[in-house]
Amino acid sequence: MNTEAPVDVLVIGAGPAGAMAAALSRRNGLSVRVLEKTRFPRFSIGESMLPQSLTLLEEAGMLEAVEKAGFQFKDGAQIVREDRKVDFVFSMKTCAGHPYAYQVTRADFDHILANEAERQGAEVRYEQDIIAADFSGDTALLTARDAAGRESRHSARFVFDASGFGRILPRLLQLDAPADFPVRASLFIHVEDHIEDAAFDRNKIRVAVHPVHGDVWYWLIPFSEGRASIGVVAEDAFLQKYPGDLTERLMALVAEEPGMKRMLRNAKPIWPSAREIRGYATAVSSLHGRNFALLGNAGKFLDPVFSSGVTIALKSASLAAPLAHRQLQGGTVDWEKEFAEPLMLGVDTFKGYVETWYEGALQTVMFSDNRPPRVYELLCSVLAGYAWDTENPYVGKSGRRLRALAQTLRNREASDQAPPVR
Ligand SMILES: Cc1cc2nc3c(=O)[nH]c(=O)nc-3n(C[C@H](O)[C@H](O)[C@H](O)COP(=O)(O)OP(=O)(O)OC[C@H]3O[C@@H](n4cnc5c(N)ncnc54)[C@H](O)[C@@H]3O)c2cc1C
């Protein structure tokens, strides 16, 4: 087995979290090696960005390359249920930061970020599958296997696990914990969309709720050049009831949502078949150890409904990289207080939104005509990814506040409809 030159920082996985952690560590003057299992460009799900992610990419000197790539501009999200429709426009947010984002093919987006990390001096090696990790000594020892089956050993003073759903350290170090949500699944495909509806706004992700099942929803993410990503999310058991292959099951579900059915009537699949991902919600008992931190999906993934995954992944790297640098300089770091707790503020914000979305309370708030204008702006901020803004009362333990507001709005609507007392 080859023993490679030691580095300060080793990053497992070259997705957004890994590329960002690598770039930031390089900017701090550390030597960095990224080991990525696949060869880029490679497909990844998660195509709708939030404005907060742009602000984070700017911090790592990666935004310019993304801005130049010609991705589809995104200025908000449209939420639809039958004849109810609401546009959340990011520029209505209450805090500082970018008011727009992009809808991206992740193969291209992730490749750009990995190249940017490389440009900043990180060594990025592809087709390197991490298969073992030993954290018993002063430096971490990782074993990688390449595409030809050759193994190599890498030692590092600090390790970022950014392996996404690969979840390398949670599995190798037994850090897995029960997820917060039931087992949900998604069917999705890329299409030439041929949407002719002049009212259709390509600058927004369209999230549509199933007309009968309030916990089943669809995404329509327009890309540039007339293409789009479409998908449906539901509890796994619900999706399994639909017969046929993956494409037939997805299209049967698309036909049940009138807007999706109408807009996509001329759509032509680009892929030979729809794809499926199941049981993606993850959690861990700890997000850090003596000389490692778990970033992005390798630590925690909630749910796709508010497109928060890449933002959380980038935020985790942005919080962790300076702490690892300080530790490697001989400083003291309280990883729980300085990394896990600040990260979880935003994760808990989104968790409250996800829970109340599926329960129905958030949909009540979103679609209500009586929702106070200020609440709309505060929701726009969170939906733009500014989920760490402590000035926003709908940040943090957001679920209780959203449930209470939904109840107030329901009571008000019920009393508005009650016949006048004589
Ligand atoms: C159905 C669905 C829809 C989604 N939609 C959105 C969305 O619209 N917007 C959004 O922001 N997020 C979305 N997400 C979430 C998003 O996909 C993830 O949160 C995001 O990709 C996480 O980034 P990451 O860097 O942590 O991991 P990843 O992007 O998954 O990158 C991890 C990398 O690690 C590599 N790796 C894995 N194992 C190993 C190994 N053994 N050795 C070396 N490398 C390894 C992988 O090959 C991969 O390149 C969605 C998720 C799902 C399930």
Q: Which of 126, 310, 347 to mutate to test the pocket of ligand 1 (most atoms within 8 A of CB)?
A: 310
Residue 32, CB half-sphere, CA atoms under 13 Å: how many?
30
Identify the pLDDT of residue 416: 80
Identify the pLDDT of residue 419: 66
Q: Where are the beta strands (DSSP E) in 257-354?
A: 268-269, 275-278, 283-284, 288-289, 292-294
Asked if residue 372 has a cis previous peptide bond (ω within 30° of 0), the answer is no
Please name the residue whose Cα sits nearest to atom 50 of ligand 1.
Answer: 46
For residue 36 the two structure tokens come to 């990525």
CATH class of 2-69+104-178+281-328: alpha beta
How far is Cα 5 from Cα 94, in angstroms, rounded to an integer?
48
Position 22, amino acid: A
State the span(s) of the chain assigned CATH 3.30.9.100.
184-278
How many Cβ atoms from other residues are within 10 Å of residue 397's Cβ? 11
Identify the pLDDT of residue 222: 98
CB 314 within 8 A of CB 56: yes
State the span(s) of the chain assigned CATH 3.50.50.60.
2-69+104-178+281-328
How far is Cα 286 from Cα 35, in angstroms, rounded to an integer?
23
Ligand 1 pocket, CB under 6 A: 12-18, 35-38, 44-48, 128-130, 162-166, 168, 186, 277, 280, 296-298, 301, 304, 307, 309-311, 313
Element (H, E) at 19: helix 16-27
Give CA 200 to chain center in angstroms: 24
Please name the residue whose Cα sits nearest to atom 5 of ligand 1.
Answer: 46
Q: Which residues make beta-bridge pairs with 205?
A: 77
Q: Which of 42, 44, 105, 308 to mutate to test the pocket of ligand 1 (most atoms within 8 A of CB)?
A: 44
Q: For residue 328, what is the DSSP state?
A: H
> Which atom, in ligand 1's list, is nearest to the CA of 165?
30
For residue 278 the two structure tokens come to 């199941």
How far is Cα 303 from Cα 297, in angstroms, rounded to an integer?
11
> Which atom, in ligand 1's list, is nearest to the CA of 163?
34
Q: Which of 36, 39, 108, 354 to mutate to test the pocket of ligand 1 (most atoms within 8 A of CB)?
A: 36
How far does the centroid of ligand 1 lie from the alpha carbon of residue 165, in Å?
A: 6
Q: For residue 3, what is the DSSP state?
A: E
C-alpha distances in angstroms, 104 versus 195, 263, 280, 414? 18, 21, 21, 42
How far does the centroid of ligand 1 lie from the alpha carbon of residue 11, in Å?
A: 14
How far does the centroid of ligand 1 lie from the alpha carbon of residue 413, in Å?
A: 41
The model carries a pTM of 0.97
How far does the centroid of ligand 1 lie from the alpha carbon of residue 266, in Å?
A: 30
How far does the centroid of ligand 1 lie from the alpha carbon of residue 325, in Å?
A: 25
Q: Which of 233, 297, 343, 383 to mutate to test the pocket of ligand 1 (most atoms within 8 A of CB)?
A: 297
Identify the pLDDT of residue 199: 87
How far does the centroid of ligand 1 lie from the alpha carbon of residue 44, in Å?
A: 6
Identify the pLDDT of residue 196: 93
For residue 357 the two structure tokens come to 């979305």
pLDDT tens for each residue of the chain, 422 residues long: 899 999 999 999 999 999 999 999 999 999 999 999 999 999 999 999 999 999 999 999 999 999 999 999 999 999 999 999 999 999 999 999 999 999 999 999 999 999 999 999 999 999 999 999 999 999 999 999 999 999 999 999 999 999 999 999 999 999 999 888 889 999 999 999 999 998 899 999 999 999 999 999 999 999 998 999 999 999 999 999 999 999 999 999 999 999 999 999 999 999 999 999 999 888 999 999 999 999 999 998 999 999 999 999 999 999 999 999 999 999 999 999 999 999 999 999 999 999 999 999 999 999 999 999 999 999 999 999 999 999 999 999 899 999 999 999 999 988 887 665 55
Rg (CA), the chain: 22
How far does the centroid of ligand 1 lie from the alpha carbon of residue 275, in Å?
A: 15
Q: Are strands 184-192 and 268-269 parallel, antiparallel or unpaired?
A: antiparallel
Position 275, amino acid: R
Identify the pLDDT of residue 418: 67
| 410 Cβ contact partners less than 8 Å away, ≥ 6 residues apart | 364
Element (H, E) at 382: helix 373-383
CA dihedral 119, 57, 42, 147 (to 10 degrees): 50
CATH of 184-278, one of 2.60.40.10, 3.30.930.10, 3.30.420.240, 3.30.9.100: 3.30.9.100
| Coil vs helix vs strand at 420 | coil
For residue 43 the two structure tokens come to 């497909």
Q: What are phi and psi of 200, to 5 degrees?
A: -70, 130
CB 238 within 8 A of CB 193: no
How far is Cα 276 from Cα 394, in angstroms, rounded to an integer?
33
> Which atom, in ligand 1's list, is nearest to the CA of 188?
1
How far does the centroid of ligand 1 lie from the alpha carbon of residue 53, in Å?
A: 14
How far does the centroid of ligand 1 lie from the alpha carbon of residue 301, in Å?
A: 9
